[in-house]
Amino acid sequence: MTATTNLTHAECAERARTIAVGEQRVELDLRSATDPTARTFRVVSTIAFTATGEETWVDLIADQVVKVTLNGAPVDLSYDGARVPLTGLARDNEVRIEADCVYSRSGEGLHRFTDPQDGNTYLYTHFEPTDARRLYPVFEQPDLKAEVTFVVTAPAEWVILSGQPEVERTQERDAATVTFAPTPPLSSYITAVAAGPYHRVDGTWSTERADGTSQEIALGVLCRASMVDYLDADEVLRLTRQGLDFFDEHFNYPYPWGKYDQIFVPEYNIGAMENPGLVTFTEQYLHRGRTTRAQRQGLANTLMHEMAHMWFGDLVTMRWWDGLWLKESFADLMGYHVTAEATEYTDTWTRFAMDRKQFAYRQDQLPTTHPIVAVIDDMEAARQNFDGITYAKGAATLKQLMAYVGRSAFFAGSRDYFGRHAFGNTEVSDLMECLEAASGRDLTSWSRVWLETAGISELTPVVERAEDGTLTSLLIRQRASDPLASDARGEGPAAGAFIDRPHRLVVGCYALEGDRLSRVAAHEIDVTGQQTQVPQAAGEHADLVLINDDDLTYATVRLDPVSTETALAHVSSIESPLSRGVVWSSLWNSVRDSELPVDRYVRGALQQLPDEADAALLASGLTNLHSAIESFAPVARRSDWRGEQVAMLRDALWAAEADSDRQAVLARALVRATASTAEGVEVVGGLLDGTSVPDGLVVDQDLRWGAVAALAAQDAVSDDALAAELAADDTMTGRTAHLRATAARPSASAKAAAWEAMVADESLTNDHLRALVAGFTEPSGGPATQSYADDYYASISNWWQQRSMVMASILVTGLFPRGDLVAGNQPDEAPSLLAAQTWLEQHPEAPKALRRIVIEQTDHLRRALRVQASAG
């Protein structure tokens, strides 16, 4: 039988209409985990539910189903690999399913990892959105919440965890069986289990409230034994207490999940996951080398994001995945807001403006763009909507909403929302009702234009200046339409019709004082309609006019010609890092949209970045500069610009303060740049062998591996040197880095070996596959990789069918064949673009999720080719 692994909205809505789930007991036998030859583990899942219909199904992806009983009677097995059908239902039912499920190597379901350093085995789960069914039989949809009791049998010496506190433990020989307290009503995708010899640090959080109530929560921070040296548990606990203080005060709903463990795990597919009581984080937050302030700030943002989910998403959950924004947009907003207000990282909005919103801008310009409140027909679509629109655009839009209704009303509405809907499921109207009640504003129109339409507003200043630079007139033009809209059914504007999104923003006026740009005026205004006058700016001297200074709204913001020239020559002199971030973001978006020639951007970046004082902004700017050269620059100019980039980085690195974040950022950027040009081989080789290292720079193991991979891409490191590097760092990270470096070699034989491993070796872990893909595609645009285009298009349908969605997505996205514009050709004539379009035309019936990846990669390629063409 064909496995029906996809789940549609229609069928799940019908299932939710006909059944209601009560208690569920999940018994897991994980004693086989330490045996590398054991593929499976035994699970028994018992579910109590009521039904109004005669039939339904239970979701399960297992090696085999052993036994099924319904209301005590055996059920004839009919299992297609994804569903266990049930017929003859009574009003009250109990189904018991015994099955053998598979240990994962892809980060989906129950992931098993064996540490090469000490041989220890570790387990953890990741389920979002529909991988709980890889661990246990379950009704796998967010609106069928259950009170779940986990019972886990595992080696007795292990730490055994779930989202609720342990209530009973028994031991027989070398195995312990741990029973956990039942969860409050909980969606399956946020249940969790972890087991292994994890290192643990304990703490507590407590509060005494003004109303006389108090609360104490047990805290835990965990990681693998071999990563203890890189875990700053005190910092994690400090941030956790700061976050819980903030949420307890502002949400006025006591933390409802009993305990708060946070565990750092290997080979994790995402940054973190909000499992209540057992939050999982990728080990990439445990840095083996120098940790910059920006990296520590990144952990703080993620920690607050996941903590916000304890209320937005866990306590109150979207009914279906079209309401994904109800948890992710709010959590993304709160991650930055709480980090800025409750921790030392008060400047975190700068990174949001410079980095996070680019995630949204890129996604929102693709043919696959969608409203924040999206239409999600099935689970494959849901998996792909964990994207820049749902996260970053949603957060930016909610930041605008907070400015629109007021901070106090925003939190008052949130408190009302939790009080009304705790442990339930909601839709967009439920939240808007609470915010309207708190603010007194009618949010119907706001919700329609911001949440229910797609696309980006473009805000452009029309500036008139006197000869002395004084503004005589300032007008803001708004261009905004929904590329997906249609009035065929009379339900909205036609595609291309103007959408009037209101923007509350600040217009900053900057004047040159010597070589420095100083803000001489700031005007907070409401931009509505297609044109908005800013009369208060008249008479100001402004060498640079910055719309959306302070970054209150979500829009593509342009600079007028005079402001563009001023910014390219003086952006690093602006005092406020947030304002510099908004300027850099505007310049970068103008390059991507072919509004600003790439050569002018590169020249400005090469000149200004060495003077950028904020290390986080410097890192972002250097990343964009590298992308401008590698993706948007005409091929004929790349060699020179690569050389100039390396020279700039080398000089700035040796001039940087010893043992500073700037020094670390510049060293990493220099290593990255060297992967594309031999100009950097000598200096990077000096870092690696210690013959030429700036004072204060520690060439730690992570920087060494970056240098090794870069030199490998230039064929400037021997096999013996690669082997020696691995011998010195035979860890999970070292083995992964070694794979990448080996695949980065430019020879045809190295690329052939990497290709064979990627497409044929299904024993590869998720991280090892990513490493091979990253190495295979170095050096950027190398001719060896382009020769695999035919193999790629011949294979992607099979990859999608035969691999899990995570593993197939790594291959389809990472190996997409890219090419550059050939002199004399138009972008639409590029063979790489034509090949992608041909596959799409010939495979209209391919799975929508697969087509979406190819469509998006094709659009990224088309944009790069058009920017190359516009450069002349």
Task: Give the span between the Cα atoms of 669 and 279, in whole angstroms.
Answer: 32
pLDDT, residue 489, reads 40
Q: What is the pLDDT of residue 3?
A: 54
3-state secondary structure of 843: coil
Three-state DSSP state, 845: coil
Predicted pLDDT of residue 494: 63
579 occurs within a structural domain: no
Evaluate whether residue 644 is within a structural domain.
no
The DSSP annotation for 502-522 comes to: -EEEEEEEEEEETTEEEEEEE
Residue 592 near residue 605, CB atoms below 8 Å = no
809-814 long-range contacts (CB < 8 A, ≥24 apart) are 809/853, 810/766, 810/769, 810/770, 810/773, 811/758, 811/759, 811/769, 811/773, 812/850, 812/853, 812/854, 813/853, 813/857, 814/770, 814/773, 814/774, 814/776, 814/777
Q: Which helix (H) or strand (E) holds 795?
A: helix 789-802
Q: Where are the alpha helices (DSSP H) in 539-627?
A: 561-570, 577-592, 598-608, 615-627
b/e map 314-327, b = 16+ CB within 10 Å: bbbbbbbbbbbbbb
Kindly report the CATH number assigned to the domain that includes residue 76: 2.60.40.1730
Confidence at residue 488, expressed as pLDDT on a 0 to 100 scale: 40
pLDDT over 60 at 2, yes or no:
no
Residue 167 lies in a domain: yes
Measured CA distances, 109 to 555, 736, 799 (Å): 38, 22, 20
What confidence tens digit (pLDDT) does each residue in 794-814 have?
999 999 999 999 999 999 999
Residue 5 is predicted with a pLDDT of 86
Distances 759 to 269, 772, 815 between C-alpha atoms, Å? 19, 11, 11
What confidence score (pLDDT) does residue 825 get?
84
Residue 868 has pLDDT above 70, yes or no: yes
Contact indicator for 503, 553 with CB cutoff of 8 Å: yes
Q: Which two tokens stand for residue 258?
A: 């009993």
- pLDDT tens column, 594-638: 999 999 999 999 999 999 999 999 999 999 999 999 999 999 999
Domain hosting 66: range is 1-99+121-187
Annotate 391-428 with b (16+ C-beta within 10 A) or e (fewer).
bbbbbbbbbbbbbbbeeebbbbbbbbbbeebeeebbeb
- pLDDT tens-digit readout, 696-711: 999 999 999 999 999 9
Distance of CA 75 to the CA centre of its chain: 42
Confidence at residue 161, expressed as pLDDT on a 0 to 100 scale: 98
pTM exceeds cut of 0.85 = yes
Token pair for 786 = 């382009």
pLDDT digits (tens, 9 = 90+) for 238-288: 999 999 999 999 999 999 999 999 999 999 999 999 999 999 999 999 999
433 is a domain residue: no
Tell me which amino acid residue 187 is: S
- Active site annotation includes 306: yes
- Mean residue pLDDT of the chain comes to 95
Residue recorded with tokens 């050939």: 822
Q: Which helix (H) or strand (E) element contains residue 458?
A: strand 458-465
- Would you say residue 287 lies in a domain? no
Q: How many domains is the chain built from? A: 1
User: Would you say residue 606 lies in a domain?
Assistant: no
DSSP string, 179-197: EEPPPSSB-GGG--EEEES
Pick the catalytic residue from 128, 140, 274, 306. 306
Torsion of CA 334, 335, 337, 342, to 10 degrees: 110
State what percent of residues in the chain have pLDDT above 90: 92
One-letter identity of residue 525: I
| Domain-located, residue 129 | yes
* Per-residue pLDDT tens digits for 564-605: 999 999 999 999 999 999 999 999 999 999 999 999 999 999
DSSP structure class, residue 81: S
Per-residue pLDDT reduced to its tens digit, 717-743: 999 999 999 999 999 999 999 999 999
Displacement of CA 431 from its chain's centroid (Å): 24
pLDDT at 398 over 60: yes
pLDDT of residue 297 exceeding 80, the answer is yes
**621 is a domain residue:** no
For range 281-298, the mean pLDDT: 95
* Phi, psi of 487, deg, nearest 5: -100, 20
- How many CA atoms within 13 Å lie on the side-chain side of 401? 31
493-516 residue pLDDT tens: 666 789 999 999 999 999 999 999
Q: What is the pLDDT of residues 115-154, one digit of tens each?
A: 999 999 999 999 999 999 999 999 999 999 999 999 999 9
